[in-house]
A and B are shown apart, each in its own frame.
Chain A
Amino acid sequence: MPLLLFLEQTLNGLQFGVTLFLMAAGLTLVLGIMNMVNLAHGAFYMLGAYFAATLVPITGSFFMSVVLALAGAAAVGLLTEMVALRTLYSRDHLDQVLATFGLILFFRELVKIVWGPIAIFMDVPDLFSGRVEIVPGAPYPVYRLLVLAVGVTVGGFLWWLITRTRLGMLIRAGASNREMVGALGVDIKRLYTLVFALGCALAALAGVMAGPLYVVDIGMGDDILIKTFVVIVIGGIGSVRGAFVAAIIVGMVDTFGRILPSQFGLSATIAELAIYILMAAVLFWKPRGLFPAAG
């Protein structure tokens, strides 16, 4: 493979990896701490993108639209948690899967009613629409670099939040012994609501960032959701650090899985399988994932 192609695809892989991480961080916390399988996580990815695509022409500012889209998705997440999910924490996983699958259908239909069934497009903001030659001879889109930078920054922020703040300590304590956290005077329900809303905002951020790169449509959340589940299983459920590492690995494997087979004259269908083969291999060697969360 030519070196330039390799470098370009590496950047693409990293950029897809951090997008997956934004999705996975919320999902792994919700599953790891609240023991709640939330299939509707992809809906917040979709909502984030739709909110931002609608807001950009109105506000005229990409940055402002992102902030508002995140706040909007977090608000919808808050409402969803309080109205629907709270009653599901104590139920078994099958009930949770059924109920949150219902939520997927609900949000899809809602989006169809509000925005219509046709995909909408979101432009790359002008400020980031150019290309830059970070490697001489291979101009790379600035916007994709921005996505990468945002993902790494959010990763750093989450690391700080979870390892260095009281909230992070309580999140980790709640993951290992929920009852004891309550018995020491912390309202664990409120903590859960907060974590859930944060996860929704991160999913929405992933959706907003993906908007200009792909297409904003009703199915956008479903495809990434499956890969996100692969990421959190590989990383170790409940572990944000694991989610970060696994997201980068899956992003790379998925990206190179698409181009490597053609380089060797193989069928491209192997690309679709690559990440699942990876997951099976990881589970074989480390059944609890790469970074099992304690507790």
Chain B
Amino acid sequence: MLEVRGLEAAYGASQVLFGLDLTIGAGEVISLLGRNGMGKTTTVRSILGLLRPRGGAITFAGSAIAGLPAYRVAQAGIGLVPEGRQIFPNLSVHENLVATARPPRAGTSGEAWTLERLYALFPRLAERQANMGNQLSGGEQQMLAIGRALMTNPRLLILDEATEGLAPLIRAEIWRVLAALKQTGQSILVIDKNVEALSRIADRHYILEKGRIAWSGDSAALRGDAALRGRYLGV
């Protein structure tokens, strides 16, 4: 589904990514781990076209997307739940969900996301649909950011630090939702620090160290190697 080969990216003169390789298959849940400043968000921004990659190739669903403007990448079927949530504060919950909503691309299987289906997934959002974005709690904003991305009916959902700064109960709710999405066959790329939860939900993991993939493997390998987690994740 997504194939990243030799991705290089930089902010001005300071290079952040040095030839990163990563693949995500259809229906897979992949995690991207690493300490702060290792290039996780830069990787997401490069894939989305929010940052123009300096080198390398990105292929999504068979077509090259590196260097395309963000709206074309999103239209190709990548849904972003950005770091910091970034919901629209001056739009209501309902408007946040429908403003950028898109039907699924022709030829894609699976049940399409509608408001009804989304509100069933997040009953809390249904209760608050008339509230403005800036009236929501952090957890509700996070649910809204996920819902907003799902309403574009993405083939690949990317979540950047979706549980950061949330109360434990809300985090558990987010993980529950991600597990439910996985059940429906949704491909997901998750960036998070919670190795425990990730090793339960994700099929494979990549550890990013100074702009390169330092390790990749499945959940059993990640769970079994304490030295690995200590070296790259500081846990």
- Cα A126 to Cα B90 in complex, Å, equals 46
Say whether B71 contacts A172, CB under 8 Å.
no
- Cα A105 to Cα B152 in complex, Å, equals 45
List, in ascending order, chain B residues with CB within 8 A of A180's CB: 82, 86, 88
Q: Which of A173, A176, A294 sits near B100, CB closer than 8 Å?
A: A173
B38: CB under 8 A from chain A?
no
Say whether B82 contacts A293, CB under 8 Å.
no
Say whether A183 contacts B90, CB under 8 Å.
no
List, in ascending order, chain A residues with CB within 8 A of B95's CB: 169, 172-173
Say whether A169 contacts B98, CB under 8 Å.
yes
Say whether A179 contacts B91, CB under 8 Å.
no
Contact (A294, B71) CB under 8 Å given A169-B91, A172-B91, A180-B86: no
Say whether B90 contacts A181, CB under 8 Å.
no
- In this complex, the member of A169, A181, A293 whose beta carbon has the largest number of chain B beta carbons within 10 angstroms is A169
List, in ascending order, chain B residues with CB within 8 A of A170's CB: 99-100
In chain B, residues 54-91, which have Cβ atoms closer than 8 Å to a Cβ of chain A?
69-71, 74-75, 79-80, 82, 86, 88-91
Say whether A173 contacts B99, CB under 8 Å.
yes
Interface size of B as a range: 20 to 34
Say whether A182 contacts B69, CB under 8 Å.
yes
A149: CB under 8 A from chain B?
no
B4: CB under 8 A from chain A?
no
- Cα A186 to Cα B73 in complex, Å, equals 10
Contact (A172, B88) CB under 8 Å given A184-B100, A184-B149: yes
Say whether B71 contacts A185, CB under 8 Å.
yes
Interface size of A as a range: 20 to 34
Q: Which of B50, B71, B80, B91 sits near A173, CB closer than 8 Å?
A: B91
- A295 closest partner in B (C-beta): B90
List, in ascending order, chain A residues with CB within 8 A of B96's CB: 173
Say whether A177 contacts B88, CB under 8 Å.
yes
Say whether A182 contacts B71, CB under 8 Å.
yes
List, in ascending order, chain A residues with CB within 8 A of B152's CB: 184-185
CB distance from B78 to the nearest CB of A (A): 9
- B149 closest partner in A (C-beta): A184
CB distance from A145 to the nearest CB of B (A): 35
B182: CB under 8 A from chain A?
no
Q: Which of B70, B102, B134 sits near A183, CB closer than 8 Å?
A: B70
Residues of A within 8 A of B (CB): 166, 169-170, 172-173, 175-177, 179-188, 293-295
Residues of B within 8 A of A (CB): 48, 50, 69-71, 74-75, 79-80, 82, 86, 88-91, 95-96, 98-100, 102, 134, 148-149, 152
A-B contact pairs, 15 of them (CB 8 A): A173-B95, A173-B96, A173-B100, A176-B90, A177-B86, A179-B70, A181-B100, A182-B70, A182-B74, A184-B152, A185-B100, A185-B152, A293-B90, A294-B89, A295-B89
Shortest Cβ-Cβ A-B pairs, 3 listed: A294-B90, A185-B74, A184-B100
